[in-house]
Structure 1
Amino acid sequence: MDPSSRIIVALDLDNRRAADEIVERLGEECRFYKVGLEMLTAAGPDLVEQLVGLGKDVFLDLKLFEIPNSVAGAVRAAGALGASMVTVHGMGGTGIMAAAVAAARDFPRLRVLALTVVTSMTGADLADIGVSASPQEQVLRLARLARGAGCHGVIASPQEAALLRGALGPDALIITPGVTLPGESPTEHARPGTPRAAVTAGASHVVVGRTITGAADPVAALRLVRANLEP
């Protein structure tokens, strides 16, 4: 896979103007953007439509966790916007994930991804909610549920990429947030990794946010991430 197509730039920003400026500055350098709850709430679905209109792929990171009918409706709405990927929460179980997959069938380009364990969580955080498994054990359990429900792939940290590639096989999408360049602080990510480490371990895509969007020169920062992906 072309290194450029592996990089998803996270528009984790609090206003539309900032997002528009990043997209304009990156231009043809970036093919793929993530729009999460913060950006979607601030800018509305029009931002997704604009990105799709510019020929970009959009990863709509909704982390859906609702009754199956509501999840299916949200997935159909994501497909109608032209999103390429949408996330559903693996903790919702097989019924919710299967409903998302069924709803996505009307949109051939839309891929449903199951969130396993968010990259900020540790074993202690899981214990707080009554999960005795380690993060790796829980990631693997939810990934197997997601595969059984028909999901196209999963979201997990770079530290679980190798485990997941071995369990899910060569065709599954494995999307890894929590990616930073060597020497950078991982900020809120408890289970981080570099772009090269993530892809070498088996990630199909890496999600990179403030490393690029917070840089004085976002284009130069994106090129550094791309260079780090290359052997």
Structure 2
Amino acid sequence: MNKTAPLLVLALLSISSFNSQAAVTANVAASSNYYWRGVTQTDDGAAVSGGLDYSNESGFYAGTWMSNVDFGDQTSYELDIYGGFSGETQGLGYDVGYIYYAYPDAEGDSDFGEIYGSLSWQWLSVKASYMTHAQNDASAEEDMLYLELNASFNVFNDSELALHIARSSGDTVMEWTGEDDSYMDYGVSLSKAGFTLGLVKTDLDSQDGVKAFVQYSVDFDL
């Protein structure tokens, strides 16, 4: 997996050079914490992340994203690789794709993959993600479903208020959390000019209480 990101970068840049309707963008961010489905991935420490995305007029897109993580072992970073198709028909947006979560320096095989699909209308979106496979150390059962409902509104002076509620379920959830085979997570955030202030919460006993984070991100065209 270590060689995948550089190869993908070269592929995206090569494709964009031959397609005038294609776009390649990059993003970098710094955050006080990295939460994934309501659970910290950095042991409540800061995170620095970055990604590269390719898209064209057909609706096809592909990209990669990386962040530091801290699981209490030697694993130091996460590398995601994804691709899919998105578009809009009669005011209804759609997005279907696949994402591979890799942890190249993990002690064991912790990688896993998911397929996902979402529908959006105006300010509301629904999304489902389902684990398709996992390495032995990630899950013996390879069973996890994530359902989420998101809403976003323009408020104040060009600020965005985002609301989130979701449910994780499956044997993998119990294996990872050591608690029930399902839990809820909630979030609210306010973003403007690259800055985001957010609150997250789950109903897991080990993640009790509301957690706050602040993030600054920058996107730019290549």
* TM-score when normalising by structure 1: 0.30
Report which structure shows greater RCO (CA 8 Å, sep ≥6). Answer: 1
User: Greater strand percent: which structure?
Assistant: 2
More helix by share: 1
Give the TM-score of the pair, scaled to structure 2. 0.31
Q: Look at both structures and tell me which one has the larger radius of gyration over its CA atoms.
A: 2
